[in-house]
C-alpha cells in the first residue's frame, strides 16, 4: 500500500511537472483523474501516510485568520529602473568602470509579485511575499496550490529560490468573462488579480485562481559552487522549477539593446504580462564586485517598456475652473503607472470631448502619455462595459462659487462669469509660483488647485505657511515624505528671489517680466516703489499712464500693503541685485547708432557704457535714432544720419564725454 502510495505521488507530480512546467502533457486527463482519485482514497483510509509533497496538498482547504510574518534570510531587494537605451548604456559604463568585462543575462520582467521559497531537505517548507523587503507574509498554503512550484525538488537539499508569481492572460480573461456573466465587476489587470489571489486566506480560492510562476533568482549561488547566474538558472531548472525559456546571454550591450526591440514585438504574443526586461550581470564574482545599495543590486537593472497605452478605470469626472473661469472636466482615475509616472487624473478638455469619445463613469479606459508629458485618455473599452457605467452630466453651476455657468461664443466651452470667483484666486496663486515669478518647483497648477480646494493654500501667505501642514501633506495621494520635503525646500528657496520676481508674482495688472525688471532697477526695493508717485513713475521709459495708475492703485490698497508687510515678516526678499540705474545727461533715455572705428574705445565697450546709463544702442539708423556716433571710415549709416538730419557725435566728442564720466 505504502509502495503504491509513493508511486502515485511520483507519477502525479511528474505528470504535473510535464503538463504545467514543461507544457508537454504525458498522460491523458482521464488517466490523471483516476490516479488522483486513487491517491485520495488511500489518504482517506490511511491519513498517517500523507506526505507533504503529495499533490493532494495543492488543493487548499485551510482557512487562515491572518498571515504570519516571515523574516527573509536575506533582504528581498527590488531593481533600479531605466527607461531608455542611453540609461542602459550608462549602467553598462558603471560596470566597465569597475574593470569588469561584462556578460549579461537579459530576462523578461514578469508583471506579477515576487516570492521567496524555502526548501528543506528538498521539501517545500515555506513561501513568503516580499513585504517590505525584510519581513514578508507567510503564503505557504497558497503557494502550494501553484502547480509549477514543486512541493519536492529533485535533490534533498536546503535551498532558497526566488521568483515571480503571476496569472496567465488566459486564466485572467476566463475569470473576467465569468465575472461579467455573473454581473460582477471585472478585475483590472493580471498583476492585481494575482496579488489578490495569493493573499487569499482561504487557499481553496487561491487554488481556483490557477496562478503560475517563474523562478529567476538564487540568493546563495556560492552554496552550490555556481559561478554564473546562467548556471544558477540551469541548476534551478534541474531541480524542477519553471525557468523562463526566453533568458538570453549577451557580452555586448549594443547587441542586448538591439534584442530589446525583438522582445517588445514578442510581448503581445506572450500568455503572461511583462513590463520590461531585467539585465543582470552573469558572473557571480562580478556581481559581488558591483555590490548593492540599500534598495537594489548594482549588478542588475530593469528596463521598463514605454507604456504606450495602459488600462485603468474612470472613477469619476471632476470639473475645475481655470485661469479665465473656463470649466474643464478632469478624469479621476484609478492610479496607474504610465511611462514611469503615476497618473491619477487626466484632462478631458470639454464636455464635447467626453461625448465624442463616449466616456462613461465606471468605464475601463485606455490612456497614454502623449509626448511623454500629458496623459491622454484614448478611448473607453466598450467590451469591458458591465452596464453599470454612468453618462457624464455637464454641470450647470460653477463648482467653486456656484454662479450659473455661461457658454463661450464658440459653444464648446463653459465658463464662470463671476469676476470674484475664487478660481481667480487660484489663477493668482499659479501666477505667483510660476517660473518667471517665484519659481516654486513642485507647486504645479493641479497641485495649487487641489491645495486650494483642500484649504491648504487660499492666498499667497499660505504658501509660506505650508510647512506647518507637512504631516497632512505626506498623507495625500501622490505625495510622500521626500516630495513634501522637496516642495518645502523649494518654497523656502523662493524667499530669496529678487524684487523683480516678487513684483512679477504679485500680479499687478500690466507688470510683466520686463517692466518688473525696469521698476526693480529704478527703485531697488519695495518701499521705494510703494512711495513712488504717479509723476515719478511716468518719467520711466516703458511706463505709461495706465501702468503708472495700476501701480499706484495697487499700493494704495490696504490688503495689498498688508500682504507685503506679512511677506516681509516671513523673510521674503524685497530687494533687487540689479545695479541702480545710472542717469547721465548724455546717454540716458536716448537711442544711439555707432558707425566707424573710434580711437579710444571699442564699439561694444561703448555700447555697454551707454546701456549702463540706460541708453539704447541699435544697428540701423531710423527716424527714431537720437544720435549717430561716427568714428573713422564710417559706413552708409553716416550718410543716412545726414539725410535724416540726426545729431552726430564724432570721435572727439565721445572722448570728451568718456573723460567726464
Ligand atoms: S531579479 C536581486 N528578475 O521586479 C534581484 N526580478 O522591480 C531581484 N521581477 O521585485 C530581482 N521579473 O518582483 C528579477 N526576471 C526577473 C524579474 C524580476 C520580475 C520583479 C521582482 C522584483 C521587481 C523589481
Sequence-distant contacts of 482-488: CB under 8 A, at least 24 apart = 483/442, 486/441, 486/442, 487/440, 487/441, 487/442, 487/443
For ligand 1, the distance from its centroid to the CA atom of residue 104, given in whole angstroms, is 15
The whole-angstrom separation of Cα 140 and Cα 117 is: 8
Nearest protein CA to atom 16 of ligand 1, as residue: 109
Report yes or no: 169 and 101 within 8 Å, Cβ to Cβ. no
Report yes or no: 57 and 151 within 8 Å, Cβ to Cβ. yes
Cell of 396: 450647470
Nearest protein CA to atom 22 of ligand 1, as residue: 78
**pLDDT of the residue at 370:** 46
C-beta 114 within 6 A of ligand 1: yes
C-beta 165 within 6 A of ligand 1: no
Report yes or no: 341 and 373 within 8 Å, Cβ to Cβ. no
* Phi and psi based region of residue 455 (left: phi greater than 0; alpha: psi -120 to 50; beta: remaining): left
CATH 3.40.50.10190 range(s) for the chain read: 591-660
pTM, to two decimals: 0.55
C-beta 194 within 6 A of ligand 1: no
- As to burial, measured by CB atoms within 10 angstroms (0-12 exposed, 13-18 middle, 19+ buried), residue 322 is middle
Pocket test for ligand 1, best of 82, 112, 129, 278 (most atoms within 8 A of CB): 278
C-beta 630 within 6 A of ligand 1: no
C-beta 206 within 6 A of ligand 1: no
Nearest protein CA to atom 6 of ligand 1, as residue: 109
The whole-angstrom separation of Cα 277 and Cα 304 is: 7
- 372 to each of 80, 359, 504, how far by Cα in Å? 20, 23, 30
Among 79, 147, 116, which residue's Cα sits nearest to residue 215? Answer: 116
CATH number of 499-569: 1.10.150.20
Tell me which fold the domain 2-58 belongs to: Helix Hairpins (1.10.287)
- Marked catalytic residue, from 10, 96, 97, 109: 109
C-beta 79 within 6 A of ligand 1: yes
Residues in the chain, pLDDT under 70: 307-308, 323-324, 339-341, 369-373, 419, 581
- 108 to each of 149, 432, 438, 565, 618, how far by Cα in Å? 19, 47, 45, 60, 63
C-beta 109 within 6 A of ligand 1: yes
For ligand 1, the distance from its centroid to the CA atom of residue 109, given in whole angstroms, is 6
Cβ neighbours for 473, distance < 8 A, ≥ 6 positions apart:
456, 466, 479, 484, 487
109 catalytically annotated:
yes
- As to burial, measured by CB atoms within 10 angstroms (0-12 exposed, 13-18 middle, 19+ buried), residue 161 is buried
**Per-residue three-class SS string for 420-445:** CCHHHHHHHHHHHHCCCCCCCCCCCH
Nearest protein CA to atom 23 of ligand 1, as residue: 78
Nearest protein CA to atom 9 of ligand 1, as residue: 109
CATH 2.40.50.140 range(s) for the chain read: 309-407
Pocket test for ligand 1, best of 104, 110, 267 (most atoms within 8 A of CB): 110
For ligand 1, the distance from its centroid to the CA atom of residue 237, given in whole angstroms, is 18
For ligand 1, the distance from its centroid to the CA atom of residue 229, given in whole angstroms, is 14
Q: How far apart are the first and last CA of the chain?
A: 116
**pLDDT of the residue at 466:** 94
CATH 1.10.287.610 range(s) for the chain read: 2-58
CATH 3.30.470.30 range(s) for the chain read: 71-304
Cβ neighbours for 389, distance < 8 A, ≥ 6 positions apart:
360, 361, 362, 363
Tell which CATH architecture fits domain 71-304.
2-Layer Sandwich (3.30)
C-beta 217 within 6 A of ligand 1: yes
For ligand 1, the distance from its centroid to the CA atom of residue 80, given in whole angstroms, is 10
For ligand 1, the distance from its centroid to the CA atom of residue 272, given in whole angstroms, is 15
613-642: b or e for each residue (b if 16 or more CB lie within 10 Å)? Answer: bbbbbeeebeeebebbbbbeebeebbebbe
Nearest ligand 1 atom to the CA of 244 is 15
Pocket test for ligand 1, best of 75, 82, 106, 114 (most atoms within 8 A of CB): 114
C-beta 110 within 6 A of ligand 1: yes
- Taking the C-alpha atoms of 325, 326, 332 and 335 in order, what is their torsion angle to the nearest 10 degrees? -90
CATH number of 422-494: 1.10.150.20
Nearest protein CA to atom 12 of ligand 1, as residue: 109
The string of pLDDT tens digits covering residues 264-296 is 999 989 999 998 999 999 999 999 999 988 789
Nearest protein CA to atom 21 of ligand 1, as residue: 114
The string of pLDDT tens digits covering residues 182-214 is 888 778 788 889 998 998 888 888 999 999 999
The whole-angstrom separation of Cα 472 and Cα 483 is: 13
**pLDDT of the residue at 372:** 43
Cell of 272: 503572461
For ligand 1, the distance from its centroid to the CA atom of residue 114, given in whole angstroms, is 7
Tell which CATH architecture fits domain 591-660.
3-Layer(aba) Sandwich (3.40)
Query: E-assigned strands of 205-245?
Result: 212-217
The whole-angstrom separation of Cα 626 and Cα 589 is: 10
**pLDDT of the residue at 371:** 37
Nearest ligand 1 atom to the CA of 107 is 15
For ligand 1, the distance from its centroid to the CA atom of residue 75, given in whole angstroms, is 13
C-beta 77 within 6 A of ligand 1: yes
3 state DSSP class of 660: helix
For ligand 1, the distance from its centroid to the CA atom of residue 278, given in whole angstroms, is 7
For ligand 1, the distance from its centroid to the CA atom of residue 298, given in whole angstroms, is 13
* Phi and psi based region of residue 542 (left: phi greater than 0; alpha: psi -120 to 50; beta: remaining): left
**pLDDT of the residue at 341:** 64
Pocket test for ligand 1, best of 105, 111, 133, 164 (most atoms within 8 A of CB): 164
C-beta 78 within 6 A of ligand 1: yes
Tell which CATH architecture fits domain 309-407.
Beta Barrel (2.40)
Nearest protein CA to atom 17 of ligand 1, as residue: 109
**pLDDT of the residue at 342:** 73
CATH 1.10.150.20 range(s) for the chain read: 422-494, 499-569
For ligand 1, the distance from its centroid to the CA atom of residue 137, given in whole angstroms, is 18
Amino acid at each position: 500500500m505504502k509502495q503504491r502510495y509513493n508511486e502515485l505521488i511520483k507519477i502525479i507530480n511528474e505528470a504535473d511537472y510535464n503538463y504545467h512546467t514543461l507544457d508537454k502533457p504525458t498522460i491523458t486527463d482521464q488517466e490523471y483523474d483516476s490516479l488522483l482519485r486513487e491517491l485520495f482514497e488511500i489518504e482517506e483510509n490511511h491519513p498517517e501516510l500523507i506526505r507533504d509533497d503529495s499533490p493532494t496538498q495543492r488543493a487548499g482547504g485551510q482557512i487562515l485568520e491572518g498571515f504570519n510574518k516571515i523574516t527573509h534570510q536575506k533582504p528581498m531587494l527590488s531593481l533600479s529602473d531605466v527607461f531608455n537605451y542611453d540609461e542602459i548604456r550608462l549602467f553598462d559604463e558603471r560596470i566597465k568602470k569597475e574593470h569588469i568585462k561584462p556578460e549579461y543575462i537579459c530576462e523578461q520582467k514578469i508583471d506579477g509579485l515576487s516570492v521567496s521559497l524555502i526548501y528543506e531537505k528538498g521539501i517545500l517548507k515555506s513561501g513568503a511575499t516580499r513585504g517590505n523587503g525584510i519581513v514578508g507574509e507567510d503564503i505557504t498554503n497558497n503557494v502550494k496550490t501553484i502547480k509549477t512550484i514543486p512541493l519536492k525538488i529533485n535533490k534533498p537539499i536546503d535551498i532558497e529560490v526566488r521568483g515571480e508569481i503571476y496569472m496567465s492572460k488566459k486564466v485572467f480573461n476566463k475569470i473576467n468573462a465569468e465575472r461579467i456573466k455573473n454581473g460582477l465587476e471585472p478585475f483590472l489587470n493580471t498583476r492585481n488579480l494575482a496579488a489578490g489571489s495569493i493573499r487569499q486566506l482561504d487557499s481553496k480560492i487561491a487554488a481556483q485562481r490557477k496562478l503560475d510562476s517563474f523562478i529567476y533568482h538564487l540568493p546563495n549561488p556560492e552554496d552550490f559552487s555556481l559561478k554564473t547566474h546562467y548556471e544558477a538558472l540551469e541548476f534551478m531548472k534541474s531541480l524542477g522549477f519553471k525557468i523562463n525559456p526566453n533568458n538570453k546571454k549577451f557580452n555586448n550591450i549594443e547587441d542586448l539593446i538591439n534584442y530589446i526591440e525583438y522582445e517588445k514585438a514578442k510581448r503581445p504574443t506572450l500568455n503572461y504580462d511583462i513590463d520590461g526586461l531585467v539585465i543582470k550581470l552573469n558572473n557571480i564574482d562580478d556581481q559581488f564586485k558591483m555590490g548593492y545599495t540599500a534598495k537594489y543590486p548594482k549588478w542588475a537593472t530593469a528596463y521598463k517598456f514605454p507604456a504606450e497605452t495602459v488600462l485603468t478605470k474612470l472613477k469619476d469626472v471632476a470639473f475645475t475652473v481655470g485661469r479665465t473661469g473656463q470649466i474643464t472636466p478632469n478624469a479621476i482615475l484609478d492610479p496607474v503607472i504610465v511611462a514611469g509616472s503615476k497618473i491619477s487624473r487626466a484632462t478631458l478638455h470639454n464636455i464635447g470631448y467626453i461625448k465624442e469619445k463616449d466616456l462613461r463613469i465606471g468605464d475601463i479606459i485606455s490612456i497614454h502619455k502623449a509626448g511623454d508629458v500629458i496623459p491622454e485618455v484614448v478611448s473607453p473599452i466598450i467590451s469591458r462595459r458591465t452596464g453599470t457605467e454612468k453618462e457624464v452630466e455637464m454641470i450647470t453651476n460653477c463648482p467653486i462659487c456656484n454662479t450659473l455657468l455661461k457658454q463661450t461664443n464658440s459653444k464648446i466651452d463653459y465658463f464662470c462669469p463671476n469676476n470674484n470667483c475664487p478660481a481667480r484666486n487660484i489663477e493668482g496663486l499659479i501666477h505667483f509660483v510660476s517660473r518667471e515669478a517665484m519659481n516654486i518647483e513642485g507647486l504645479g497648477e493641479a497641485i495649487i488647485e487641489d491645495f486650494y480646494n483642500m484649504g491648504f493654500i487660499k492666498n499667497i501667505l499660505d504658501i509660506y505657511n505650508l510647512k506647518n501642514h507637512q504631516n497632512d501633506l505626506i498623507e495625500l495621494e501622490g505625495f510622500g515624505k521626500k516630495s513634501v520635503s522637496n516642495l518645502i525646500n523649494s518654497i523656502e528657496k523662493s524667499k530669496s528671489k529678487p524684487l523683480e520676481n516678487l513684483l512679477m508674482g504679485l500680479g499687478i495688472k500690466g507688470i510683466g517680466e520686463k517692466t518688473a525688471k525696469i521698476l526693480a532697477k529704478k527703485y531697488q526695493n519695495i518701499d521705494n516703489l510703494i512711495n513712488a508717485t504717479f509723476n515719478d513713475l511716468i518719467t520711466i521709459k516703458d511706463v505709461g499712464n495706465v501702468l503708472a495708475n495700476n501701480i499706484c492703485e495697487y499700493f494704495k490698497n490696504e490688503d495689498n500693503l498688508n500682504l507685503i508687510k506679512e511677506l516681509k515678516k516671513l523673510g521674503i526678499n524685497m530687494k533687487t541685485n540689479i545695479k541702480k540705474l545710472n542717469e547721465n545727461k548724455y546717454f540716458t533715455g536716448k537711442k544711439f547708432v555707432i558707425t566707424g572705428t573710434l580711437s579710444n574705445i571699442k564699439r561694444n565697450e561703448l555700447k555697454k557704457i551707454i546701456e549702463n546709463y540706460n541708453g539704447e544702442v541699435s544697428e540701423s539708423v531710423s527716424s527714431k535714432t537720437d544720435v549717430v556716433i561716427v568714428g573713422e571710415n564710417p559706413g552708409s549709416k553716416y550718410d543716412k544720419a545726414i539725410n535724416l538730419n540726426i545729431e552726430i557725435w564724432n570721435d572727439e566728442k565721445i572722448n570728451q564725454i568718456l573723460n567726464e564720466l
